[in-house]
Structure 1
Amino acid sequence: MTATEKRWRINRPDERLVEMLEKELRLSPISAKILVARGFDTVESARAFLMVDEHSVHDPYDLYGMHDAVDRIKQAVQNKEKVLIYGDYDADGITSTTVLKTSLVDLGADVHHIIPNRFIDGYGPSERLFRQAYEDGFQLIITVDNGIAGNHEVKVAKELGMDIIVTDHHEPSEELPNADVIIHPRHPDGHYPFGELAGVGVAFKVAHALYGELPQHLLPFVAIGTVADLVPLLDENRYLVKAGIEALQQSKHPAIQALCQIAGVKAQDIDEETIGFGFAPRLNALGRLGDAAPGVDFLMTQDKEEAQSMANYLNEQNKERQEIVANITEQAIEMVENDPEIGDAKVLVIADEGWNPGVVGIVASRLVERYYKPAIILSIDLEKGTAKGSARSIEGFHMYKELAKNSEILLAFGGHPMAAGMTLAVEEIDELRTRLDEQARAGLTDEDFTPVLNIDIPLAVEEIDVTSIEDVRRLSPFGTSFAKPVYAIENATIQSMRKIGADENHIKLQIASRNGDLDAVGFHKGYLADELTYGIKINFAGDLQINEWNGRKKPQLMLADVQTDEWQLFDLRGIRQVSRWLQSIPLEKVTFIAFQNRTQQYFDSLIPAEIMIYEDKMTPQHIENYVVLLDLPTNASLLEKLLEEANPRRVYAHFYIPESHYFDAMPTREQFVWYYSFLKKRRTFHLKEHLMELAKHKGWSRDSLIFMTQVFFELGFVTIENGLAQIVDNPPKKDLTSANIYQERQQQMELEQTLLYAPYKDLREWFDSRMKSQTVSEEEHSKWI
């Protein structure tokens, strides 16, 4: 049985509702199933979701304070006041700044922008920068994607005589800053119908109000910032991203074209994944490593050469960021693996000096993916005596609330259920680890530390075709709160399987179910080739994509996880070189079994594990769920006893024998008669001197003659002394088959035929008939039902 990576939760939508949506909305069965699985249980709700257009955008003046904000901005434009857009250093902040600055430039404002440096001023409003703005003559500051928590800094700006408009989307606290205007979709005094806008979405609403019409030319930036900030792709966010992607695909903007070039994508192929994995990381890299302000200049430039140069710079920054993340991740993993105090804790709290605080959140995410535990990565500043870092969590562990229980040892913290940031004194790191470990042990079960895979719908292979997969794109964009669909294909079998890639760390399979077959690919899942076997029912989960090669399109499953509840037989027969198959076996989970002492002696230096000699009187209580059968048993009943009592989930069949008699065949009765008559005539026969000569004369093998001689000796027909065989007068009357050596050879030949030389299918059937019925426990069953 393969150990699943995740707990499966499969949604099985109501077929009646599926048929209704399929018919009324002319959807493919797969698209209709997805919508029902996602909770769209009426034609009206599904149609409203699918038919997003400009009417999905709410009136910007529904935002509390928008009239005042527009009046103050227009006053600044009319009076030629210096206006400062104060942004944030991530992709959402950069695009927010771009959107609002572009709209003010179009209005003729004297507008500039500044983005705080993460390492100097930190996140949000900076008193230092606000004072600098005052000295530089700015009369109006507009924050984008930040400011709602900047109570002190806003107070300073007001005391200096500057006006300030805060536009933000982060969680507002009980006490709001004393700004002139606050534009926030969840303003406590407002009633805006959708509270989940990104920072760029809020900035876009201000721009919409300023222009007096929907600014279509700003939609590409809104799409980038919204996808990058992982806000729910529902309501008007869905329209903003959908329309923004369409605009990106048609855009001639130098920055967009340059981003396509460095991301290696054609403009017409841009989708939400292009933004999330191609554009956003490069924009984010600026603020993670240094100054993010040039990102706004890049997005606003109309010069192609400048855009390309800036894009190349973004790309280099991103590569540097990737290297830094890889190095810190490697160091963090080493700490987890080598320090039990860190690795055994239910919450990973890892700290070191000099780690880049701009990337520790990414490292925390990597550790959550690897270990599925909440993770906190801290960068130590010995000069200040503090540690600053980021946390990422798992389902069931509300990171912000758990940190709040330790507020007395935290200098500062903030965040959400799944992510948070914090600063604490270096000497409190161990205490925080201890406390969070105790909190996790008290609040989480063992099951909570197994990741959940939410599967939208199960499908049969024959349901899947190119047209249906293309139809699913009608449901896009996919993202937060409306994730890309995950499919399950249950009770399928493997038709072919091979490792692919230069390092063979990927896998390609062809799977079959009922009346169809389907290609499947698993990136970084090459190990599955050592975990799966043919001839068993397997459940596959993943994403359906279209593979196009030489103009031909085929459906393809991108594997996310694999499960089976059947025992498995791995065929290692005939692979003499032990190192070739040993590397595919999980040594810590298997019991190596030999039936003969000579086998144990042969493998002792080749296998870095204990080898058990299995005998008839043994009770296999110490045998693991996985067993390696190194040799053939002396009789089938011994192996049958082992299988019945141990009932292994995996059997690795090697069946090594020093010499096989199967292809020599058993000498015929006529051969025995002729040889006995020959010996009877000779009376004596010197085996060492003449056996080979006789074998050549008769065309028999030397081993056959030795075997027949041994049978005669055991039955008392001949004596052997010093290599001389001598006939016995008046021997006892015994049948040849009564000799033990005859029976043992016959039995070995039958075992070789049944176990060693049988086709895999026949060998599997032999084991199947002798294994206990392996039913899945309720706990295991719940993992994938």
Structure 2
Amino acid sequence: MFSAKFDWNLDTNPVDAEQVTELSNTFGLPKLAAELLIKRGHTDVDEVQHFLHPDESDLLDPWLLHDMDTTVERLQTAIANDEQITVYGDYDADGLTSTAILYETLLEMGAQVNYYIPNRFIDGYGPNVAAFEKLIDAGTSLIVTVDNGVAGTAAITRAHELGCAVLVTDHHELPDELPPADAIVHAELSPDYPFKQLSGAGIAFKVATALMDEIPQEKLDLAAIGTIADLVSLTGENRALVQFGLNVIHLTERPGLKALIKQAKLKLPQVDEEKIGFQIAPALNSIGRMGSAAPGIELLTTDDDQVATKLAKQTMQTNEERKQLVTTITKQAEQLAEAQTEQPVLVLVGTDWHEGVLGIVASRIREQFQKPTLVLTNTKTGSLKGSGRSVPGFDLFQALNPERDLLEAFGGHAMAVGLTLQSDKLAAFKDQLATTAHQQGLQLGKRAELMIDYEISPDEITPTLFDSLQLLSPFGVDNPKPEFALRPKSVTGLFAIGAGKEHLKFDLVGKQQKVGAIAFGWGPDLGELRNLADNLKVAGTIGKNEFRGQTHFQVMVDDLAPAGQVIEDRRTAKLVEQMFQPTATYLFFDPKRREQLAPHLNAQSESLLFAEADFQHRQFQHLVIVDFPAQLEDLQTVMQHAQAAVITLYLYKKRRLQAEGMPSREQYAKLFKFLAKQPTFAVRNQLVKLGQQLHIEPRALGFMVQVFSELGFVTIQDGIVHKVANPPHQELTSATCYQQRETDLQMEKQLLGSSHQQLMQWLRSLRTHDED
């Protein structure tokens, strides 16, 4: 049964009208933009000025960061002494951009510098002892980590033993004991640095700024990409970095970035935080997910247009392969998850699943089943390795922390973890995890909250509204894109798109206009949503689609939900046992059919006879109308008075008169002529033979005899039909059974022969009339 994925929470907090007026007048803002600023805590005029129009003063003094002076001094010494410096990065988009920023900066300063990106499948995340040993053996005397390092005690200790200095620049959560690095540049260690949420690329950019003693404008593009990709807070200095960086991207001469944007079928002026977050960053991430991420640095730093084009094509191809892998593994994981319906935490183990995409798969399964999910695969060493994603209210890190004795490797935070365990310990691991879930009080089925800023209609989506919203961009963490709830009159043009038909496209119809909508990942719900086409509400953000020189606004859907009572159209010509397994109240018009089907209902369900039902004094969660009513008024009574969250219509009718229709006057004339020649015949024994002789279907012939009998044209005694001599003249249509058949045919046409849309429109008109 279709339902929303989130609990919608409309922001109804009042906004101070005077503050709205002040901000609106001071900055020339539309009322909506001023309201949103206030709702998000931006009320001070000076703060709003910097929020809307950041300047270079929003890029803070890099020397306030912990150990920045030591770091710069050691790097300058290495450059002066022609030491071999290695920038040790990470394989995700933030790590690649961090590495590129510092690598380029040191090259420009004349340093003897190279870079090393650890391989996810060989080195793992962060400083690796074997990797450090290899670098030092090759001549490196100074290692600078970017986007990693604070958890690298073992590797850094080993480097010192081999006479190599290590500078750490990082932004990840600090461990209880810091590594013995020669310097650690980290905002959380910097009491005088007012902004703590820099990404790895942001920290690398601050080091580059201090090294060059000026803001390296040409590196802002990389800083922006890393900041967006790593989902850090888009407020304060990060907001300035991204806004400045987007301006640089729009004018970039960086061959690799231009080529990547072109391969993504984008134009430079169109690139914004959403295009980076959903297209550019995933493409960069895919390199490290599928193999060595080192080509990503070459792509970002090359000066050769041909090399850039080649690497950009390879990157996009790798990203497509990653997408296909995710789709394939997700389908397999879904099947495993469906077999674990009783488990509070899903532990899904596959054979030869690609390690690089297991975190994405875990996220998708978590969203679909609303349960914490761990996705693991076998490794060459016989261990199981993978990733986990949690749901709100369940700390996955703390749930696994007590199980460290079962784990070979483990790390992460409340909502996401990575782990490795021996396969022979899997059963014990699952048991302990279930126990921990119970101890934490994991509430299954609890949906995450979706904050809604405003309720609007499709008619209110205008250029003015869109432009008002854009004043608050760039959007991201802590400055989300405004969320709207829309209740269209209807949804039209609903169809699946994408290679695997995994997404949906449709139109939201208002009173004056319709607006397009895209719902990513909702393809499997196509059938359900078609049943709700005129009873749907939509939550989403407003975007702009530019195609072939035309601009259209569209809603990027975050959630869909029934707008009121759900009426499911499941009309059927055949009843099977599976249709009575869902827990519900099953309503019957025919007592015999109720008696016949009652044994098929599950123990939690109820069978109810229309003649005995009291719709005025009870409510139903799910009411299933099983069979066809004897008269239309009976169904009208149910639809007008039954208080049910969901009504499902089977409307089963064993014999459908539409297939037989109403006998024609010519057929009645044939029967009358036959009776003139043979005034007596046996109905039971001769009906089929007579039907063949007259070319009339036997059931229709039986009905015709019934009409003749009612009108006094014939009599029937003990199954023998006798023609009446000189019968009274009467119209066929005056027979009660004739009129009843016409009524029955009209009912069938209305209830069984109508389209889904026609039926829904009629049923909802009954509810509307009742409410009026």
TM-score range, shorter chain: 0.7 to 0.9
Give 1:372 shift. 1.9
Number of the residue aligned with 2:421 = 424
**What corresponds to 2:470 in structure 1?**
473
- Partner SS, residue 259 of structure 1: helix
| Secondary structure of the structure 2 residue equivalent to 1:559 | strand
SS at match of 2:544: strand
1:545-564 alignment to 2 at 5 Å?
545-548=543-546, 551-564=549-562
Give the structure, 1 or 2, with the largest relative contact order (CA under 8 Å, sep 6 or more).
Answer: 1
Q: CA deviation at 1:433?
A: 2.0
Post-superposition offset of 1:554: 3.7
Cα distance, 1:373 vs structure 2:
1.4
For residue 131 of structure 1, report the CA deviation from its aligned partner. 2.3
Matches within 5 A, 1:14-25: 14-15=14-15, 16=17, 18=20, 20-25=22-27
**Counterparts of 1:561 and 1:349, CA distance in 2:** 26
Mapped contact 1:63–1:192 kept (Cα < 8 A) = yes
Counterpart mapping for 1:382-401 below 5 A: 383=381, 385-401=382-398
- Report 1:674-685 matches (<5 A): none
Q: 1:124 aligns with which of 123, 126, 131?
A: 126
Aligned to 2:4: 4
Contact 1:535–1:761 (CA under 8 A) maintained in structure 2: no
Whole-Å Cα distance in 2 between the matches of residues 646 and 571 of structure 1? 18
Cα distance change on mapping 1:518 and 1:662 into 2, 3 Å: farther
Distance verdict in 2 for CA 1:528–1:470, change over 3 Å: farther
Q: The residue matched to 2:120 in structure 1 has which SS? A: coil
1:493 to 489, 495, 511: 489
2:252 aligned residue: 251
* Distance 1:101-1:745 versus aligned 2 partners, 3 A rule: closer
Code of the residue aligned with 1:11 in structure 2: it is D
Residue 710 of structure 2: aligned partner: 711
Check whether the contact 1:388–1:422 (CA below 8 A) recurs between aligned residues.
yes
Is the 1:596–1:613 contact (alpha carbons within 8 Å) kept by the matching residues of 2? no
Counterpart code for 2:185 = I
Distance 1:407 1:570, change over 3 A: closer
* Corresponding residue for residue 365 of structure 2: 367
1:264 aligns with 265
Does residue 62 (structure 1) correspond to residue 71 (structure 2)? The answer is: no
Identify if the C-alpha distance between structure 1 residues 720 and 457 changes in structure 2 by more than 3 Å, giving closer, same or farther. Answer: same
Indicate the residue corresponding to 1:607 in structure 2.
none
Q: Is the 8 A contact 1:2 1:532 kept in 2?
A: no
- After superposition, residues 336-351 of structure 1 pair within 5 angstroms as 336-338=337-339, 340=340, 343-351=341-349
TM-score, with length taken from structure 1? 0.81
Q: CA deviation at 1:648?
A: 6.8
Relative to structure 1, the CA distance from residue 766 to residue 596 in structure 2 (aligned partners, 3 Å threshold; closer, same or farther) is farther
Percentage identity across aligned positions?
32
Change (3 A) 1:702 1:292: closer
Write the deviation string for residues 710-748 of structure 1: whole angstroms up to 9, x where unpaired. Answer: 22459x98979743222599x9xxxx9999747855864
Aligned to 2:86: 84
Aligned equivalents of 1:597 and 1:504: distance in 2?
44
Q: Which residue number in structure 2 is paired with residue 606 of structure 1?
A: none
SS in 2 for 1:406: helix
In structure 2, C-alpha distance between the alignment counterparts of 1:497 and 1:652, rounded to whole Å: 24
**Alpha-carbon offset, residue 394 of structure 1:** 1.4
Cα distance change, pair 457–438 in 1 and its aligned pair in 2 (3 A) = farther
Matching residue of 2:405: 408
**8 Å contact 1:87–1:144 — kept in the other structure?**
yes
Deviation at 1:566, TM superposition (A): 2.8
Three-state SS of the structure 1 residue aligned to 2:150 is coil
Aligned to 1:157: 159
What is the alpha-carbon distance in structure 2 between the residues aligned to residue 125 and residue 466 of structure 1? 50
Instruction: Give the letter for the 1:281 counterpart.
Output: P
| Partner Cα separation in structure 1 for residue 460 and residue 396 of structure 2 | 41
Whether contact under 8 Å (1:489, 1:539) holds in the other structure is: yes
8 A Cα contact 2:256 2:301, kept in partner: yes
- CA distance in structure 1 between the partners assigned to 2:710 and 2:445 by the alignment: 65
Distance 1:477 1:102 in 2: 26
Q: How does 1:663-678 map to 2 (within 5 A)?
A: none
Correspondences of 1:493-572 after superposition (within 5 Å): 493-494=489-490, 496-499=492-495, 501=497, 507-512=504-509, 517-525=514-522, 527=525, 530-531=528-529, 538-548=536-546, 551-564=549-562, 566-569=564-567
Whole-Å separation in 2 of the counterparts to 1:179 and 1:535? 61
Which residue matches 1:335? 336
8 Å contact kept, 1:37–1:457? no
Give the aligned partner of residue 659 of structure 1: 657
Q: Secondary structure at the match of 2:480?
A: coil
Q: Check conservation: 1:250, 1:267, Cα contact below 8 A.
A: yes
Question: In 2 relative to 1, CA 355–462 (structure 1 residues): closer, same or farther, beyond 3 Å?
Answer: closer
* Mapped partners of 1:398, 1:721: distance in 2: 78
Q: 1:77 to 1:563 in 2, by over 3 A?
A: same
Are 2:376 and 1:378 aligned?
Answer: yes
Q: Distance in 2 between matches of 1:635 and 1:214?
A: 78
**Contact conserved, 2:344 with 2:444, CA < 8 A, in 1?**
no
> What is the number of equivalent residue pairs in this alignment?
734
Q: Which amino acid aligns with 2:474?
A: P
Say if 1:466 and 1:554, in contact at 8 Å, map to a contact too: no
Tell me if the contact between 2:2 and 2:528 (Cα under 8 Å) persists in the aligned partners: no
Distance in 2 (CA, whole Å) between partners of 1:756 and 1:318 is: 48
Question: In structure 1, what is the Cα distance between the partners aligned to 2:129 and 2:192?
Answer: 31
State which drifts further: 148-157 or 516-525: 516-525
Amino acid at match of 1:234: T
Which runs of 5 or more structure 1 residues have no equivalent in the other structure?
604-609, 673-677, 696-700, 774-785
Distance change (3 Å), C-alpha of 1:409 and 1:763:
same
Q: Report the Cα distance in structure 2 between the residues aligned to 1:595 and 1:26, rounded to whole angstroms.
A: 65
The aligned counterpart of 2:602 is: none
Equivalent-residue separation in structure 2 for 1:747 and 1:586 (angstroms): 30
Counterpart position of 1:723: 721
Paired AA for residue 540 in structure 1: V
1:481-500 CA distance string (max 9 Å, x none):
3222221124x421645435
**Is the Cα contact below 8 Å between 2:504 and 2:526 reproduced in 1?**
yes
Aligned residue runs from structure 1 range 272-311, under 5 A:
272-311=273-312
User: Which residue pairs with 2:452 in the alignment?
Assistant: 455
With structure 2 as the length reference, what TM-score do the two structures score?
Answer: 0.82
1-structure distance, mates of 2:457, 2:739: 51
Distance 1:593 1:770, change over 3 A: farther
Q: Deviations over 1:316-340 (max 9, x none)?
A: 33333333333333332222223x3
Structure 1: distance between partners of 2:88 and 2:645: 64
Is the Cα contact below 8 Å between 2:629 and 2:635 reproduced in 1? Answer: no
For residues 556 and 262 of structure 1, do their structure 2 counterparts lie closer, same or farther at Cα, with a shift above 3 Å needed?
Answer: closer
Corresponding position of 2:229: 228
- 2:370 and 2:761 mapped to 1: Cα distance? 41
Aligned to 1:414, what secondary structure does the other structure show? Answer: strand
Kindly tell me: are residues 598 and 761 of structure 1, through their superposed partners in 2, closer, same or farther at Cα, counting changes over 3 Å? Answer: same
> Within 1, Cα distance between the matches of 2:506 and 2:64?
54
Deviation at 1:595, TM superposition (A): 4.8
What is the match of residue 437 of structure 1? Answer: 434
Distance 1:72 1:438, change over 3 A: same
- Tell which deviates more after alignment, 119-128 or 105-114: 119-128
- TM-superposed CA distance for 1:257, in Å, is 1.4
Letter in 2 for 1:291: S
Task: For 1:586 and 1:426, locate their aligned partners in 2 and report how far apart those are by CA, in whole Å.
Answer: 41
Given that residues 571 and 654 in structure 1 are in contact (C-alpha distance below 8 angstroms), is that contact kept between their aligned partners in structure 2?
no
Classify 1:50/1:598 alpha carbon distance in 2 versus 1 (closer, same or farther; 3 Å): same
**Structure 1 pair 522/320, CA: closer, same or farther in 2 (3 Å)?**
closer
